[in-house]
Amino acid sequence: MPRPIQAHINLSALESNLHVARRATSARLMSIIKADGYGHGVLRVVEALSASDGFALLDIQDAMRLREAGIRQPILMLEGFFGAEDLALISEYNLTCVIHSAWQLALLDAYPKSGKLDIWLKVNSGMNRLGFAPNEVAQVMEQLHRHRAVREITLMTHFANADEVRGVAGPLALFNDIAAPYRMARSLANSAALLRYPETHGDWVRPGIMLYGASPFAETSAQQLGLQPAMTLRSRIIAVQELRAGDEIGYGALFRAEHSMRIGIVACGYADGYPRHAPNGTPILVDGQRAQTLGRVSMDMLYADLSKLPQAGVGSAVTLWGDGLPIEEVARAAGTVSYELMCALTDRVPVVV
């Protein structure tokens, strides 16, 4: 009998979330599948999201696997290429490539002009992560136009605050100014902008987190947005301890019982991807009922408070996040975001589809 932890991936939830995106826009959908499809398994995700108009990721090996699996849609390399040798593969596998920095332009110039490359030119509209400064764009554009291998150019930017109160107004105006002279496709919107700012949709939207069924917003739940969780992390209680007043639990004795109580030991720890910094009181489901974690998460186990669940015991089903327990709630309690929890799922956790 294997250890009871499992990650359940709901393929029809992925499909349904893609439809939510589809209904929200008339732009083409570039599904973001970086970080192994936000931890859901990139090939699995691509199959469920096959109605996407394109896919975007980081690793050229992954992109090649997708082509070999028969994916025909555009595949966008979000950080472009990392060395000159990547360019031949990008051309051979007909991948689309972000260009965000001058060093990439220099490599591109040295590239044989016979290849064919579709480029997404990234503009820095204020996030100051990747992209050319607004005043560099005209010159970069000229250089790309001169390059014989460059086929199609799309203009893109990425928002730092689409999910925050700050919103997108400033960066959007800046980007629109930069893009105005060019008759080219445009792409700006992540999930938050797709859901909240139709004026950012342009020709391609780039949803990520919403496809996996989590809300990009702090104040709006996934359910309110019509999204279904694609990943549910489940395990079971493998032991029960009866505590007396004054007893402590776990490394560092982070929790001390004030009265006698029952706690369950759950087969899930940070080596499975559960956040070690989740404090006392992080929500958890035991037998479908809400409970709380206690004590410090250890490598392979964590503690659940069973005081209010007298019927729960060894073998009780536990949901760490997903169906019935929004991942955002767990993330918030642990001081992080759903994205990080999804990506942190480790290889030792068996995946069930």
Q: Based on CB atoms, which residue is closest to ligand PLP, 31 or 91?
A: 31
**Least distance from C-beta 161 to ligand PLP, angstroms?**
12
Q: Can you tell me the distance from the alpha carbon of 38 to that of 30, in angstroms, rounded to the nearest whole number?
A: 15
Token pair of 91, please? 């051309």
Q: Based on CB atoms, which residue is closest to ligand PLP, 80 or 207?
A: 207
Binding residues (CB under 6 A) for ligand PLP: these are 32, 34, 78, 158, 190-192, 206-209, 216
Q: Based on CB atoms, which residue is closest to ligand PLP, 31 or 235?
A: 31
**Least distance from C-beta 239 to ligand PLP, angstroms?**
37
Q: Are 195 and 216 in contact (CB under 8 A)?
A: yes
Nearest to 217 by CA among 199, 243, 196: 196
Altogether, the residues listed in the chain come to a count of 353
As to burial, measured by CB atoms within 10 angstroms (0-12 exposed, 13-18 middle, 19+ buried), residue 322 is buried
E strand spans, 14-149: 28-32, 54-57, 75-77, 96-99, 117-122
Q: Based on CB atoms, which residue is closest to ligand PLP, 184 or 343?
A: 343
**Least distance from C-beta 160 to ligand PLP, angstroms?**
11
Among 111, 122, 197, 251, the active-site one is 251
- The residue sitting closest to ligand PLP, measured at its beta carbon, is 208
Q: Based on CB atoms, which residue is closest to ligand PLP, 80 or 269?
A: 80
**Least distance from C-beta 205 to ligand PLP, angstroms?**
9
Q: Are 247 and 271 in contact (CB under 8 A)?
A: no
DSSP string, 215-276: -S-SSS-TTTTT---SEEEEEEEEEEEEE-TT-EETGGG-EE-SS-EEEEEES--GGGT--T
Q: Can you tell me the distance from the alpha carbon of 266 to that of 93, in angstroms, rounded to the nearest whole number?
A: 45
Among 34, 93, 182, 197, the active-site one is 34
**Least distance from C-beta 271 to ligand PLP, angstroms?**
25
Q: Can you tell me the distance from the alpha carbon of 79 to that of 172, in angstroms, rounded to the nearest whole number?
A: 21
Catalytic status, residue 251: yes
Catalytic residue annotation: 34, 251
